[in-house]
Amino acid sequence: MYRNELYVMVTPEPYVSTAPGPILSDSVLIDAAMRAHLGYEVTRIDPHYRPDNATEVWLERGNKTIRRHFDPNTGADVGKATAVGVMLVSGLIQIHDNFLPGPKGRVVNGFGAMAVVLVAMTGLVLWWPGASRWQRSLIVHRGLGWNRFNWELHSMVGFWCFGAILVFAISGIYLFFPETFHAWADKIQPVTADNAGKRFIDKFLYWLAFLHFGRINGIGIPCDGPGFCDQSVKAVWALFGLAPAAMFVTGAIMWWNRVLRRWL
């Protein structure tokens, strides 16, 4: 049975069970789904990390696929699972993960992450304004023209968000090419009977993946479960997640003004 953990992590909560009782096992839910939709076969089940939220079940018959929500306590069919919000989130996940085409798109995204690392490192070199002026590049000053404002905004965001952008890019490369990273890890620190499950390199790769998201299934970096702390971590990561977009937009404006407009 296929379980898409990233999908589970971001799926909205369309239904909350009001029936008390234990959570049904996957096999019981599958039987309930197939009884509710005779002739269909369950091909995928996506349980939510909260026990009172609906479980999404995919069923197929021939070329037809339906997605339904089932109460995790009673096994009752509670409605369609193809809400517009869910479809939009799923589409964003496909773009972010696979660049839409699938495995080939994932490779493209991986090389894109490498390009971000290269741009960030070269940008740091280009950003350095000199020992006597570097502090002026940490803020955006008042009373500036549009072009100068755009340049200082690009410079400020690049400085304060450099670490986050680099972490997102490097961890993204790992998530796109995990097999390569694990092969390197085995060469750097081969697995032995003594270090199995205790290798430093495994902990490093775990944190590399964890830092990309800042949270996984309700567990944030400084938090131990859902709550205010976890939501705060999400907000901080979302804010830093806007940095690459801000750098792209301000950089594109500078490129237009300095290169393309003159060429045209």
Greatest extent of the chain over all pairs of C-alpha atoms, in Å: 76
Going by pLDDT thresholds of 50, 70 and 90, the confidence category of residue 16 is low
Chain centre distance of CA 193: 34
Both structure tokens of 12: 């909205």
Strand partners, 57: 45, 68
**pLDDT tens-digit map of 208-252:** 888 998 887 667 787 877 788 888 888 999 999 999 999 999 999
Window from 50-64, 140-154, 249-263 with minimum mean pLDDT: 50-64
The number of helices, as runs of H, and strands, as runs of E, in the chain is 11, 6
Q: Tens digit of pLDDT for each residue in 94-110?
A: 788 888 777 788 899 99
- Tell me the pLDDT band of 4, cut-offs 50, 70 and 90: very low
Neighbours of 125 (CB within 10 A): 7
CA distances to 137, 207, 263 from 191, rounded to whole Å, are 47, 19, 57
Give the pLDDT score at 50: 62
Supply the Cα-derived Rg of the chain in whole angstroms: 24
CB–CB of 119/161 below 8 Å?
A: no
pTM: 0.68
Among residues 167, 188, 140, 191, the alpha carbon closest in space to that of 244 is found at: 167
Q: Among 17-26, 40-49, 250-259, which stretch is predicted with the lowest mean pLDDT?
A: 17-26
pLDDT-derived band at 195 (thresholds 50, 70, 90) equals confident
- What 3-state DSSP class applies to 63? coil
pLDDT of 217 reads 66
The domain locations on the chain are: 5-94, 101-258
In the three-class reduction of DSSP (H, G, I as helix; E, B as strand; rest coil), residue 60 is classed as strand
Dist. CA 75–CA 240, nearest whole Å: 40
pLDDT at 83: 64
